Amino acid sequence: MNYVYILECSDGTYYTGWTVDLEERIKTHNEGTGPKVSKYTRSRRPVKLVYVEEYEDKSQALKREWAIKKLTRTEKKRLICSKIVR
């Protein structure tokens, strides 16, 4: 499965990403070390998963990630509120 996700960083900003292992990817973001760590989230830890979508096709997931990244902050908030992760 392919996942597109939005994280809320400790400074209140949002980070959008894609992965095939959601649990491991969030762990990497929060540890802040290693070759696959995001430069953006490294200094904004801890991060919290606030939104996720699942896709069977990698291409669809990457297209959706790009579309979410182009949204405004207000549009991202609206998207997050439409599907709360618990």
**Domain 2-82: CATH class, spelled out:** alpha beta
pLDDT digits (tens, 9 = 90+) for 4-52: 999 999 999 999 999 999 999 999 999 988 888 899 999 999 999 999 9
Give residue limits of the domains in the chain.
Answer: 2-82
Alpha-carbon gap, residue 51 to 43, rounded angstroms: 21
**What angle (nearest 5°) sits at the alpha carbon of residue 66, between those of residues 70 and 34?**
110
What is the per-residue pLDDT for 37? 87
Other C-beta atoms closer than 10 Å to the C-beta of 3 total: 20
pLDDT for 85 equals: 56
Give me the pLDDT at residue 4, please.
98
**pLDDT the model gives residue 58:** 98
Specify the pTM: 0.93
Q: Contact 41/85 with Cβ under 8 angstroms?
A: no
Mean pLDDT of 54-76: 98
> How far is 71 from 31, CA to CA, in rounded Å?
27
